[in-house]
Structure 1
């Protein structure tokens, strides 16, 4: 999921049966047991690192006290995974989940706030790598239904604020606001959880990138198609269910490595390339890297230990700056086209990838209505990073017409000012779009006032 130097800790919860008169959540126990087995079999998480709370173990005190305690023990070399299957709803400004001892006549005092027990403790902890999966169930807490949905529309703004507090946080939910999330007697699981686990186990080729990785983008893209397709083709359900996700990083990141790749021969590469240095020759329209090739002696990817490997002759890396700029411009033009054609409420991701570079962008709006676009460039030079070597990251604040390019996280010692000079003109079309939008809004406002 993350580099192997990280320890993984998990708290996974299922409330299928309730103490008081609250409808049963069918297959919640099956879901959580299967998720636990994935942690053990695929991620190799030690049993002692997994807290499993089912029904009577999942009390309000357990989530209020024990969950916060477990999070407080995390450090920067840990990653944290949270999974929940049960009833959930939105009340008094907070997203809440139910516990075994939740009472239907006093929901406010017998449920827990996700922000209070999970998101705020994670923000305050040393851990900045976390994944949250929530399959919250039932449309009304006093009805017996076959569906699983978010009671009273869980509010996404709270989730958005949480994931933006770190570079490596993501939250995946079983359905979008106002929709139902269904279980299946055929699958004996929640439909979303079934396809979630299918992807995480590497059993869905559509969710796999570069033949070995499940990424934040590939997972959500797969769930967004697989879940509604199954409902449409294999059930009599008339409602829609669109899985929803909020992801922290400016570009897609690896969620997990599929287990087949760990032991397969394809995990072994013939040689690895070590860039001696990166040269940006703007006048000749070139980015170049002198490469030192090392022959593999049977070690598996990514072979961070190069000691004892024999050198081999390789060609240097070379790409035209103009080709990269064309790719950036195309993505930004796609964002303009998207803004002109669609209404949107959630973050939207755009990506362009080939054998030389990867460009990813994110369009989002904060709680104050300010629209920003983040974009990053990675080059496939060294092969050490599956998504590519980071060259720069950028942020364009549309309201202020301000573009910032950063090289702090670059895998090379690059000058931010030089990068700004080379690539800032790529944003001309999208800047022109937002300036015209601003002028139009101003003219419309003046006409209304007149």
Structure 2
């Protein structure tokens, strides 16, 4: 099924106390049923369900009550390369005090995420990391988050241009982070008993309160990592290690409970 590119989860995910201003704009993608695949040849089971659960969280009170007009949900056949690229233009509506979020659940490659209409051997039909970074650069939001529950998603941190791209897109006071399900050499696990991706399952559990490790009513990005990472490693028997990558304060609030 993406530690320095995009963040503001609870602030990210729109969770914010009354004193915090700003809106949340989110593009949420989940692809379980691929055009060129069947379940026996690689289709997933729960990626679309995970995406819907992320949207449900965003629209909940604890998720910030993000209005539907600020969310683009694309699942299965809706999530072509063209429609995802078009949806990413939503981030251009964000102002300086706003947050933008990209969530992707589906197949991943070392240099891209795989849209619904991808074709084997045709790299032009992929959702490349460079295209995602460009969409973030073009947004004025100071808080940017990319969350990926995809195999090999840690590969986005290995792009030669990623450090330069990040530097160009970061301004004083900004928070830019990637929350990635796995390292660049690892698969991301779907868990039948959890009825979802292991990473997304524990991510949402953490944001919904279990990640508030000090009990102060706020889930920070550091707390979320401390909660999610060991549980994912344990659940997958060490086969999957989440990566939190970016430029942000350890105390960046992700959820206000």
Give the TM-score, by structure 2 length: 0.82
Structure-1 residue corresponding to 2:244: 245
SS in 1 for 2:236: helix
- Determine helix, strand or coil for the equivalent of 1:195: helix
Map of 1:63 onto structure 2: 84
Higher relative contact order (CA 8 A, sep 6+): 2
Q: Is the 8 A contact 1:163 1:246 kept in 2?
A: no
Deviation at 1:70, TM superposition (A): 1.2
Residue in 2 that maps onto 1:134: 148
- Name the structure 1 match of 2:29: 13
How far does residue 23 in structure 1 lie from its aligned partner after superposition?
1.5
Unaligned runs of 5+ in 1: 137-148, 233-238, 259-450
Q: TM-score, normalised by structure 1?
A: 0.48
Could you tell me how far apart the structure 2 residues matched to 1:160 and 1:210 are? 35
Larger radius of gyration: 1
Structure 2 counterparts to residues 98-177 of structure 1, below 5 A? 98-106=114-122, 108-116=123-131, 118-136=132-150, 149-150=151-152, 154-158=155-159, 160-164=163-167, 165-166=169-170, 167-177=174-184
Does structure 2 retain, via aligned residues, the 8 Å contact 1:209–1:215?
Answer: no
CA distance in 2, matches of 1:214, 1:188: 24
Q: Output the CA distance in 1 between the equivalents of 2:184 and 2:200.
A: 17
Answer 1 or 2: which has greater strand percent: 1
CA distance in 2, matches of 1:225, 1:53: 30
SS in 1 for 2:44: coil
Does structure 2 retain, via aligned residues, the 8 Å contact 1:163–1:170? no
In the TM superposition, 1:354-365 aligns within 5 A as none
Q: Can you list the C-alpha shifts for 1:221-275, whole angstroms capped at 9, x where unaligned?
A: 211111112233xxxxxx52111011312543111212xxxxxxxxxxxxxxxxx
> Does the alignment pair 1:195 with 2:202?
yes
1:224 and 2:226 matched: no
1:39 pairs, out of 44, 50, 58, with 58
User: Which stretch has the larger CA shift, 167-176 or 71-80?
Assistant: 71-80
Partner of 2:72: 51
Q: How does 1:32-431 map to 2 (within 5 A)?
A: 32-41=51-60, 42=62, 43-64=64-85, 66-90=86-110, 95-106=111-122, 108-116=123-131, 118-136=132-150, 149-150=151-152, 154-158=155-159, 160-164=163-167, 165-166=169-170, 167-202=174-209, 204=210, 206-232=211-237, 240-258=239-257
1:29 match: secondary structure: helix
Cα displacement string for residues 335-357 of structure 1 (whole angstroms, at most 9, x for unaligned residues): xxxxxxxxxxxxxxxxxxxxxxx
Aligned positions, number: 230
